[in-house]
Structure 1
Amino acid sequence: MVDEERAGEGEGGLPGRFAVDVRPVPGGEAVVLVLAGELDRDGVEPLREALEQGDGSGRIIVDCSGLGFCDSSGLNVLLRARMRIMEAGGRLELSGLRQPVHRMFEITGARSVFEVYESTDEALAGRGREGGG
């Protein structure tokens, strides 16, 4: 697990710290990155490292169901990783987008470039796609 800061246990007990957990899928078909907390400039390095760990799988699913916030620095890391992974013949997909993260992806237009699923289970099953490219 790449975990620079524990989600939900910030200084003074304040919520919002960022954590990412790398979970290989049995059989090696994919790697799931489970994000939690708030993804801002302080969390991009652990996310970047986790994305690099999953590069060899060919498919990375980023589970955003525990993500309460994502700023432009987090979005940029995801977009750059998507391009790099696609150039290598892989896929980077998202699951579990919820407000306000979903709204930020919609407003910026980034929502349309990712395949997005309601849940990680649906992504792994290849069904329930919300749309995107």
Structure 2
Amino acid sequence: MTTAPRVDIADTRGQTTALTVTGDLDLQAVAVFHHTVADVLSEHPTVILDLTGVTFCDSSGLNTLLRLRRRAQEVGGRLVLVAPPRQMLRLLSVTGAVSVFTIHGSLAEAWEAIPASDPPPTA
């Protein structure tokens, strides 16, 4: 049974937003996931996806990540992956997609790697 993905905003700093993703990224669930992340990309060109809570990812989930990566590049940003689960990391590795994504082990590590030209918002 598919667990519909849930996407929540974890943090926003300047032009970058971090999203936490939980649930499955499969054929039945990726349309909503794609739409949600694409909407965020329209306002924040760099998106960090914390994938710690992803329970399953199939080829349609991978395809969606690749499409979102291309969309981020089109708007002058990037798509960064954080802590993909073992099954998802294996899928990325077997397909060679691991080489096109920036992947970090933790959300804190991903934030540290964001260029200084993307300053945090002032309060």
Q: 1:124 to 1:66 in 2, by over 3 A?
A: same
In structure 2, what is the Cα distance between the partners aligned to 1:88 and 1:47? 19
Report the equivalent of 2:84: 97
Asked whether 1:48 is paired with 2:48, we answer no
Q: Provide the TM-score with structure 1 as the length reference.
A: 0.76
Structure 2 residue aligned with 1:126, among 106, 113, 118? 113
In structure 1, what is the Cα distance between the partners aligned to 2:71 and 2:88? 22
Report the equivalent of 1:87: 74
What is the aligned-residue identity percentage?
Answer: 34
1:1-133 to structure 2, matched below 5 A, reads: 17-23=3-9, 25-55=11-41, 56-126=43-113
- Contact kept in structure 1, 2:24 and 2:56, CA below 8 Å: yes
- Contact kept in structure 2, 1:33 and 1:63, CA below 8 Å: yes
Report the secondary structure of 1:25's partner residue: strand
Report the equivalent of 1:7: none
5+ residue gaps, structure 2 = 115-123
Report the equivalent of 1:13: none
Q: What's the Cα RMSD here?
A: 1.8
Tell me: higher relative CO, structure 1 or 2? Use CA pairs within 8 A at least 6 residues apart: 2
Please identify runs of 4+ aligned residues in structure 1 that moved more than 6 A: none
Deviations 1:23-69 (A, max 9, x none): 16244331122111221011111211111221121210111111121
5+ residue gaps, structure 1 = 1-9, 11-15, 128-133
